[in-house]
Amino acid sequence: MSRILFILKKRSNYGVSFGLLNSAQANVRSLNEMGHEAKLVQVIDNNVIDKEVHDYKPTHVIIEAIWVVPEKLKLLTNMYKGIEWYICIHSKTPFLANEGIAFPWIKEMVALKQPNLHIAANNKDFVNDLGKIINTEVSYLPNMYFPVLDSFKKIPKTDIIKIGCFGSMRPMKNHLEQAIAAILFAESMGKKLEFHINAVTEQKGENVLKNIRAVFEITGHDLIEHGWLDHGEFSCLISEMDLGLQVSLSESFNIVTADFVHNDIPIVVSTDVTWMPSWTRCTPTDTNEIITTLKLAYLFPFLKRFNKKALQKHNRRAVKDWNKFLNPLTTEPLFDNLSL
């Protein structure tokens, strides 16, 4: 039986929960449901990895994101030669371009030529692109959405329209464009806008937040800023929204979208969130297209049921891919119907 240890770097600036943690927890729950053994740990730095691996004795270690220095990976993979190690990337190229260590460290990892050290990613397109660039097989480890939380009842509509555009504030998340589109949409519907965001900044996101605040001061609509929330609190917050926005410039999965779908709240996304129905997906830089799609989602709420079907379909495919990864000689999946 496979024993999979997921290792994340603890991020004290985010509080108790963040996107990468939530997605890893969902994968752990899914794998355990499928009959494997899986565990998630958070560590303060790469010096703690040895203890966690020694204690759990996994068959596979999945380090979420690029943060362990290549020299440490060489040491660990030599110490534990019977374990398969995977560095799983959760970003596509546009986001990685802002991470100065990304490709230099990938280059060093490949140069180590450790047979039990592998690169992985959660997006098929990026798996193909990266594999061709580094001339090495890259494993596909998709997100599986398996919430432990019940969906919540939505608060009835008023003369205020609430739109949630959550996630860390970074330039590639395209918050300013979405804020402007949301304002124009609300005005076209004759409503005042409450635009809800996480006021958590990364990668020069401070400038984005400054501009968004100024836009709302000019227009007179309400900008509601939230800190980083526990996943349960975040799910409750989503349930209060009328609509969601995740029309960012680059995505590999987007767990915030899955949270909206699970809570039965319509959401408009970017063309990169490929598992969502085509009618929900917009060009990130086309304000009019975003507004039109918001109107469609708002005026025809029955369409949101197709969002849930799309997430279920993604889950079924992801389960099969994980089973194929962990049981390469098995033709039939162990479990292929994770519920929402």
Task: Report DSSP letters for 179-233, one per residue.
Answer: HHHHHHHHHHTT-EEEEEEE--B-TTHHHHHHHHHHHHHHH-PEEEEE----HHH
- Asked if residues 36 and 3 have their Cβ atoms less than 8 Å apart, the reply is yes
Rounded CA-CA distance 143/13 in Å is: 24
Q: Are residues 174 and 263 in the same domain?
A: yes
Inform me whether the pLDDT recorded for 298 exceeds 70. Answer: yes
323 within a domain of the structure (yes/no): no
What pLDDT, in 10s, does the model give residues 33-57?
999 999 999 999 999 999 999 999 9
What pLDDT, on a 0 to 100 scale, did the predictor assign at position 1? 78
The backbone torsions φ and ψ at residue 90, rounded to the nearest 5 degrees and listed phi first, read -110, 20
Residues 6+ apart with CB under 8 A from 159: 191, 192
Q: Are residues 38 and 72 in the same domain?
A: yes
Q: Are residues 176 and 67 in the same domain?
A: no
Query: What's the mean pLDDT in 60-83?
Result: 97
Q: Are residues 219 and 113 in the same domain?
A: no
Inform me whether the pLDDT recorded for 270 exceeds 50. Answer: yes
150 within a domain of the structure (yes/no): no
**Of the residues 141, 170, 197, which one is the last residue of a structural domain?**
141
Inform me whether the pLDDT recorded for 119 exceeds 80. Answer: yes
Residue 106 lies in domain: 3-141
Rounded CA-CA distance 59/315 in Å is: 24
pLDDT category, 15, cuts 50, 70, 90? low
Q: Are residues 105 and 179 in the same domain?
A: no
326 within a domain of the structure (yes/no): no
Q: Are residues 79 and 121 in the same domain?
A: yes
What pLDDT, on a 0 to 100 scale, did the predictor assign at position 334? 43
102 within a domain of the structure (yes/no): yes
Q: What tokens does 212 get? A: 């968004």
334 within a domain of the structure (yes/no): no
Q: Are residues 68 and 195 in the same domain?
A: no
Query: What's the mean pLDDT in 86-107?
Result: 92
pLDDT category, 80, cuts 50, 70, 90? very high
What pLDDT, on a 0 to 100 scale, did the predictor assign at position 203? 81
- Asked if residues 191 and 159 have their Cβ atoms less than 8 Å apart, the reply is yes
Rounded CA-CA distance 292/299 in Å is: 11
Q: Are residues 173 and 294 in the same domain?
A: yes
* C-alpha triplet 102, 106, 108: angle, nearest 5°: 120
Stated pTM of the model: 0.90
- Asked if residues 235 and 152 have their Cβ atoms less than 8 Å apart, the reply is yes
User: Reduced to 3 DSSP states, what percent helix, strand and coil does the chain have, rounded to the nearest 5?
Assistant: 45, 20, 35
Q: What is the mean pLDDT of the chain?
A: 92
Our count of domains for the chain comes to 2
**Of the residues 97, 114, 141, which one is the last residue of a structural domain?**
141
What pLDDT, in 10s, does the model give residues 121-133?
999 999 999 999 9
48 within a domain of the structure (yes/no): yes
What pLDDT, on a 0 to 100 scale, did the predictor assign at position 175? 97
| Domain of residue 12, CATH code | 3.40.50.2000
Least confident of 5-19, 83-97, 152-166: 5-19
